[in-house]
Chains A and B, each alone.
Chain A
Amino acid sequence: MSDGHIAWMLVATALVLLMTPALGFFYGGLVRSKNALNTLMMSFAALGFVGLGWALLGYSLAFTAGTPVIGDISHALLRGVGLEAQGEIPQILFMAFQGTFAIITAALISGAIVERMRFGAYLAFLTLWGLLIYAPVAHWVWGGGWLADLGALDFAGGTVVHINAGVAALAAALVVKQRRDYGRQAILPHHIPFTLLGAALLWLGWFGFNGGSALAANESASLAFVNTMLAPMATLVVWMALDVLRTGKSTAVGMATAIVVGLVAITPAAGFVAPLSAVILGGIAAVPSYYTLLWRARTRLDDSLDVFAAHGVGGMSGALLTGVLAQQSWNGVADGLLFGNPRQLLVQAIAVLAVMVYSGVGSFLILKLMGLVATLRVSPAVESVGLDVSEHGEEAYGSGEGAILVPSSDLVTAGSAVAPAPRSLRISGGDA
């Protein structure tokens, strides 16, 4: 342990935590204004629910020896997680850094079920998913599990985070089913500047995500950091070109999406490929995600904010290209197909498939079982009025017109939040 390593990892942890609210803004801008708060809260809620689940149990399931499939509960409730060294940093910091990954991974799924899922059911799913799906997969790849033994390369979470979340999102969209208006009316983003702001903050946070995944302030962190800058640049340029070739215009939503796809794709490769390879990887990765997105919108599959196209497909491109472009002279670990090691591509493919099957089937089962004991969707009436007012009793863009203050004495006597309706219509004086 040294001060330098610890200082960088403290900053990296904060950067990754910022990505979850950033994701909230990215998603929040893409939905209709009547669901803006609900969508933002789906990401923000993950900070509490998944974060606590991680500290109390998930960390132990992921990062204790246990079996090749799952860890044990010896670190449950943070028992034995202290200031002792875990690599170059104190274990307690390692736990926090990994916790920020669990949070954003679970929050990513929300993009598939916005504008229709009951908030309570979502919170339950989110919490269970963090423990039952995320923790085991993190154990397989990073916690000394079977994919680590096999030699799968995943620098910062192409399989653990992005394929995992992308396929879970697909399962969630299938179980929760499409929005009532989907395919019947045009559903437009209500605030694209939020989406661009979210993409910018995600990129900033991703320097901590990939750079921090070296778990030290060293050469590997520098390589991952620079590749995190280069790859999305290439994705952005290729994406804009595809947009222009198809419609004659480049788009803001397209640009925000391209940045995320590039970041997703470089995630597994960040510390394993040469900078020029990162540019190539970022450019190539634009194509499959771009066309998956176009295809998805023509189907009945309402993965509303295209989590699968961006994170599932982007993650697959990145994980497989890692097996092609990895270079031992840069990473000191393994070569890929282009550098004389075809086996690496096979190992990457096995990792991709294993995570797809486990996450897809597991997430599907969790939601189906939850559906037996609880209602997953809001009623049609709530869906048409919007989830902000119905689920949260708030409006994102309320003008205050027509808002009447309920005196606190009424609340006490009525014993509920609903006071008797006044006979006449009164307009409140000030701005509510």
Chain B
Amino acid sequence: MKLIIAIVRTEKLNDVLEALFRAEVRGLTITPARGHGGETEQVETYRGTTIKMELSQKVRLEIGVSDHFVEPTVEAIMSAARTGEVGDGKIFVLPVERVYRIRTGERDEAAVTPVA
């Protein structure tokens, strides 16, 4: 099992979700995030104060998958979230020690396999 963490552009979230559902990846968690990945800072002005926005709004997805689902999941996110500009985000794939499904107590592979 792996945990896939992806950080993508907010405005690309819908495309990513669509691609994931098409790849039959179900079950995920998303959180709003702010981060910096080398993109040009947006300059903003409020009266006489000029600022640069170092952190931009992103979305963080967490997806627990069984091993053979890693490639399709990464593929789906990569193709849907890419614009070609700096700031498209990152995908991390992490090993997972154990997974439990709270409702049934199932663990590992069974816990990340969607209910039919």
Give the nearest-CB partner of B85 in chain A. A381
Q: Judge whether A404 and B54 touch: CB under 8 Å.
A: yes
Identity of the chain B residue whose Cβ is nearest the Cβ of A421 in the assembled complex: B41
Interface size range of chain A in the complex: 20 to 34
Q: Flag if B51 contacts A404 (CB, 8 Å).
A: yes
Question: Given contacts A385-B11, A393-B43, A394-B44, is CB(A403)–CB(B36) below 8 Å?
Answer: no
Number of A-B contacts (CB under 8 A): 60
| Cα A405 to Cα B53 with chains together (Å) | 9
The answer, among A401, A406, A418, A421, for a CB contact under 8 Å with B55, is A401
A394–B51 touching, CB < 8 Å: no
Within 8 A of B (CB), among A302-346: none
Whether A405 contacts B54 by the Cβ 8 Å rule is no
Given A389, A401, A411, A428, which contacts B42 in the complex, CB threshold below 8 Å?
A: A389
CB distance A403 to B50 under 8 Å? no
Closest Cβ of chain B: how far from A413's Cβ, in Å?
13
Of B40, B49, B52, B56, the residue contacting A419 (CB under 8 A) is B52
**Interface majority SS on A: helix, strand, loop or mixed?**
loop
CB distance from B107 to the nearest CB of A (A): 36
Interface readout for B28-45 with A: 1 if CB under 8 Å, 0 if not?
000000101000111111
Instruction: Assess A393 versus B45: contact at CB under 8 Å? Given A385-B11, A425-B36.
Output: yes
Q: Does A417 contact B (CB under 8 A)?
A: yes
Q: Chain B: interface residue count, which band? A: 20 to 34
User: Which residues on the A side are within 8 Å of B53 (C-beta)?
Assistant: 389, 402-404
Q: Are B45 and A394 in contact (CB under 8 A)?
A: yes
A375 touches B (CB below 8 Å)? no
Q: Is the CB of A406 within 8 A of B43?
A: yes
Q: Closest approach, in angstroms, between the C-beta of A425 and any C-beta of chain B?
A: 5
On chain B, the residues within 8 Å of A406 by CB distance are 43, 50-52
A427, CB-defined interface residue at 8 Å: yes
With A and B bound together, what is the CA distance between A228 and B11 in angstroms? 43
Interface positions of A from 354 to 403, Cβ below 8 Å from B: 381, 384-385, 389, 393-395, 398, 401-403
A418 engages B43 (CB within 8 Å): yes
Taking the closest CB of chain B, its distance from the CB of A6, in whole angstroms, is 38
Q: Which residues of B contact A398 (CB under 8 A)?
A: 44
Kindly state the separation between the CA atoms of A421 and B86 in the bound complex, as whole angstroms.
15
Give chain B nearest CB distance to A407 CB in angstroms.
9
Determine if A403 and B43 form an interchain contact, defined as CB atoms under 8 angstroms apart.
Answer: no
A297 CB within 8 Å of chain B: no
> Are A402 and B45 within 8 A (Cβ)?
no
A402 to B34, CA, bound (A): 8
CA gap between A426 and B55 in the complex, in Å:
10
User: What chain A residues lie within 8 Å of B54 (beta carbons)?
Assistant: 402-404, 425-427
A404 pairs with B52, CB closer than 8 A: yes
Residue of B nearest to A410 (CB): B50
Q: Which residues of B contact A385 (CB under 8 A)?
A: 11
- Complex CA gap A403/B42 in Å reads 10
Contacts of B11 in A (CB 8 A): 384-385
| Distance, CA A139 to CA B33, complexed state (A) | 55
Residue in chain B with minimal CB distance to A403: B51
A401 proximity list for chain B (CB < 8 A) = 34, 55
Q: Given that A389-B42, A395-B44 are contacting pairs, would A402 and B50 also be in contact in the complex, using a CB cutoff of 8 Å?
A: no
Query: When chains A and B are docked, how far (Å) is the Cα of A119 from the Cα of B106?
Result: 56
B44 touches A393 (CB 8 A): yes
Give Cα A411–Cα B43 distance, bound, in whole angstroms.
Answer: 12
The answer to the question of A299 belonging to the interface, with a C-beta cut-off of 8 Å to chain B, is: no
Residues 1-33 of B at the A interface (beta carbon under 8 Å): 11, 14
Chain A residues with a Cβ under 8 A of chain B? 184-185, 381, 384-385, 389, 393-395, 398, 401-406, 408, 411, 417-419, 421, 425-428, 432
29 contacts between A and B (CB under 8 A): A185-B14, A381-B85, A385-B11, A389-B42, A393-B43, A393-B44, A395-B44, A402-B34, A402-B53, A402-B54, A402-B55, A402-B56, A403-B52, A404-B41, A404-B51, A404-B52, A404-B54, A405-B51, A406-B51, A406-B52, A408-B50, A411-B50, A417-B50, A418-B43, A419-B52, A421-B52, A426-B54, A428-B51, A432-B49
Give residues in B with beta carbon < 8 Å to A.
11, 14, 34, 36, 40-46, 49-56, 83, 85
Given A389-B53, A406-B52, A418-B43, 8 other A-B residues pairs in contact with their CB atoms under 8 A: A389-B42, A389-B44, A398-B44, A401-B34, A405-B49, A421-B41, A428-B51, A432-B51
